[in-house]
Structure formats: structure tokens, C-alpha cells
């Protein structure tokens, strides 16, 4: 038996749009009515931690009302024939809920909190968990497990490794404006086919096959292409 082709998929907010989670750049710099830098930056958190806790409590609660869509499901189904790795900028858990088994979260996870004094100490929480700046777990004050703007992206290094080992690389639903995530493409080996599904795609180098469609429709089309071309 030959090894399955390694399919590395980089996803952004657009893949969750059809599940009812709003994207960032489609909302004029507001994230659910809040200025992004108030709720998603290290400065914003230092200025008003209570607001930031409240904001992520709301985002976490909203996860209870959404479901994975067909695009998430197809990524899971592709595991039968491909060695699929998902690298997501999303903080929702829709890839996991759709069944994807190898998911790397570049920007953190809503369903985790972490110790303020130790970024490697995290705890899983439920959609109904509410935290405040005073909340303590095992004696540690906690914060949302989110990579804020102005902070390092610890999972970037392993993500570049995955990108470099891809036999096929796919980008879905990201504006490609937030770094370092947008730079992952540059780690893909020369000659490796790259596909980009987005109804309003950002700029990509020549040679990338752009599928100008929403994630559900674009993924259905791409799954057909992948099975015909690479199996
Ligand atoms: P953006 O909001 O910047 O981009 C969303 C992309 O999804 C755009 O290119 C849209 O055209 C596309 N899109 C919209 N609807 C779609 C659909 N139905 N199917 C497919 N694509 C669709 O989101 P990201 O690129 O993910 O960081 O943003 C990157 C980071 O910026 C986020 O991870 C977040 C944010 O600040 C943190 O939270 C740390």
C-alpha cells in the first residue's frame, strides 16, 4: 500500500461563515460590533481585561448555537483517502466537531483558557463557561486562550513544518492579510499544487488555482478535483 498524499489545508474565518459565524474583514474592522483592537490585542486586554473576558464569554456561548457546515464535513471525509492536516486561524471548534482529527489552531481556541502566568498551562472549558479577571483555576488567574495581536504565534513554527511537508496545499476563506498566518504559503515546496477557495480572494502568487466560490460549494468542487487528479 502506498502512503496517502499529504493534504495540508489552511482555513480562515470564511470556512465558518456559512455556519453563521461572522468573518472579520467583512465587518469593517468590527468584530461582533467591537473594535478588533479593543478585544483582540494585548494592549486592549491590558486596558480593559473585564471587557475582553466578557467578549470571549459571549463568543464561547455563541458556539453552542452553530454547527459545522458541508465544507468542514468534506475536510473530514477526505481523511479516508488523504493524510489531512488542518491549520486554522479560527478559534471555533467546528473542524473538530466535523470529525477532523489533526487540527492545529494558530490563533488559539475559544474552548480553552490559559494561566495568566504560564502560557503553556491551559484548561478545556465548556460553551457556558464565564470568566472574569478574578477567575482562578488551580490557583492561577486565567485569560482566554487566544493569540492577541502584538503577541507571538507559538504554533506558527509547527505550522510551517506542515506546510513544507504538503503534497497538496489548500487555502480556504482567509483574506491573507494577517501575518504570520498569511506567510504559510511561502513554506510550501516549489511544484506543489496550491488551491485557494474564497468568493473574494486576497492576493496570491501566479500558479495558485483560485476557486472563486463559497466554502461549501468550492470544497465540493475541489474534493472531486483531488480524487480525480491525485488518487
Ligand atoms: P477575514 O475576515 O480577514 O477574511 C475572511 C475571508 O473569508 C475573506 O477573504 C472573505 O472573502 C472570505 N469569505 C467570506 N464568506 C465566505 C464563504 N462563505 N466561504 C469562503 N470564504 C468566505 O478572516 P481571516 O483571514 O480568518 O485573528 O482573519 C485572520 C485573523 O484576523 C483571524 O484569525 C483573527 C482576525 O483578527 C485573531 O482572532 C487573533
Over residues 92-108, the mean pLDDT reads 98
Alpha-carbon span 111 to 114, nearest angstrom: 10
207 and 192 Cβ atoms separated by less than 8 Å: no
pLDDT category, 72, cuts 50, 70, 90?
very high
Catalytic residue among 72, 107, 145, 228: 107
Over residues 195-222, the mean pLDDT reads 97
Judge whether 186 counts as a catalytic residue: no
- Distance between alpha carbon 167 and the CA centroid of its chain, in Å? 20
Is residue 224's pLDDT more than 80? Answer: yes
Q: Can you give the pLDDT at residue 138?
A: 97
47 and 36 Cβ atoms separated by less than 8 Å: no
Cα(first)–Cα(last) distance of the chain, in Å? 13
For the chain, percent of residues with pLDDT exceeding 90: 92
**24 alpha carbon to ligand 1 midpoint, in Å?**
6
How far are the Cα atoms of 6, 155, 192, 224 from residue 78, in angstroms, in the given order? 11, 24, 18, 10
**Closest Cα to atom 18 of ligand 1:** 214
**13 alpha carbon to ligand 1 midpoint, in Å?**
4
Q: Can you give the pLDDT at residue 31?
A: 73
**Closest Cα to atom 15 of ligand 1:** 14
Q: Can you give the pLDDT at residue 1?
A: 58
Helix axes 215-230, 70-77, angle to 10 degrees: 20
Is residue 126's pLDDT more than 70? Answer: yes
Ligand 1: lining residues by beta carbon, under 6 Å? 12-14, 17-18, 23-26, 36, 40, 89, 107, 147, 173-175, 177-178, 198-200, 202, 214-215
Is residue 28's pLDDT more than 70? Answer: no
How far are the Cα atoms of 97, 99, 114 from residue 44, in angstroms, in the given order? 31, 34, 17
Over residues 136-148, the mean pLDDT reads 98
How far are the Cα atoms of 38, 56, 68, 137, 210 from residue 128, in angstroms, in the given order? 23, 11, 19, 16, 39
Over residues 90-116, the mean pLDDT reads 98
Measured from the Cα of 178, ligand 1's closest atom is 29
Residue 159: φ, ψ to 5°: -70, -40
**134 alpha carbon to ligand 1 midpoint, in Å?**
32
**213 alpha carbon to ligand 1 midpoint, in Å?**
14
Is residue 29's pLDDT more than 90? Answer: no
Q: Can you give the pLDDT at residue 117?
A: 97
Peptide bond into 180 cis (omega under 30): yes
Question: Residue 84 class from Cβ within 10 Å (0-12 exposed, 13-18 middle, 19+ buried)?
Answer: buried
**Closest Cα to atom 29 of ligand 1:** 178
Per-residue pLDDT reduced to its tens digit, 157-203: 999 999 999 999 999 999 999 999 999 999 999 999 999 999 999 99
Q: How confident is the prediction for the chain on average, in pLDDT?
A: 96
For the chain, percent of residues with pLDDT exceeding 70: 98
* Structure-block grid coordinates of residue 115: 494561566
Q: Can you give the pLDDT at residue 20?
A: 93
Amino acid at each position: 500500500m502506498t502512503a496517502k498524499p499529504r493534504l495540508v489545508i489552511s482555513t480562515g474565518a470564511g470556512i465558518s461563515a456559512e455556519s453563521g459565524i461572522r468573518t472579520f474583514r467583512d465587518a469593517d474592522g468590527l468584530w461582533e460590533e467591537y473594535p478588533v483592537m479593543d478585544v483582540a490585542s494585548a494592549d486592549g486586554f491590558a486596558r480593559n481585561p473585564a471587557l475582553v473576558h466578557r467578549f470571549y464569554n459571549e463568543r464561547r456561548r455563541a458556539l453552542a448555537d452553530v454547527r459545522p457546515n458541508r465544507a468542514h464535513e468534506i475536510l473530514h471525509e477526505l481523511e479516508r483517502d488523504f493524510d489531512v492536516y488542518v491549520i486554522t486561524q479560527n478559534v471555533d471548534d467546528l473542524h473538530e466537531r466535523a470529525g477532523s482529527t489533526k487540527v492545529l489552531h494558530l490563533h488559539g481556541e475559544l474552548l480553552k483558557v490559559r494561566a495568566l502566568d504560564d502560557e503553556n498551562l491551559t484548561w478545556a472549558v465548556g460553551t457556558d463557561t464565564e470568566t472574569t479577571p478574578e477567575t482562578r483555576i488551580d490557583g492561577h488567574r486565567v485569560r482566554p486562550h487566544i493569540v492577541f495581536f502584538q503577541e507571538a504565534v507559538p504554533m506558527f513554527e509547527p505550522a510551517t513544518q506542515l506546510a513544507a511537508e504538503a503534497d497538496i496545499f489548500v487555502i480556504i476563506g482567509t483574506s491573507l492579510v494577517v501575518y504570520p498566518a498569511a506567510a504559510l504559503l511561502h513554506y510550501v515546496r516549489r511544484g506543489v499544487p496550491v488551491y485557494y477557495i474564497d468568493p473574494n480572494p486576497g492576493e496570491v502568487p501566479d500558479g495558485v488555482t483560485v476557486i472563486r466560490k463559497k466554502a461549501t460549494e468550492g470544497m465540493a468542487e475541489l474534493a472531486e478535483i483531488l480524487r480525480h487528479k491525485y488518487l
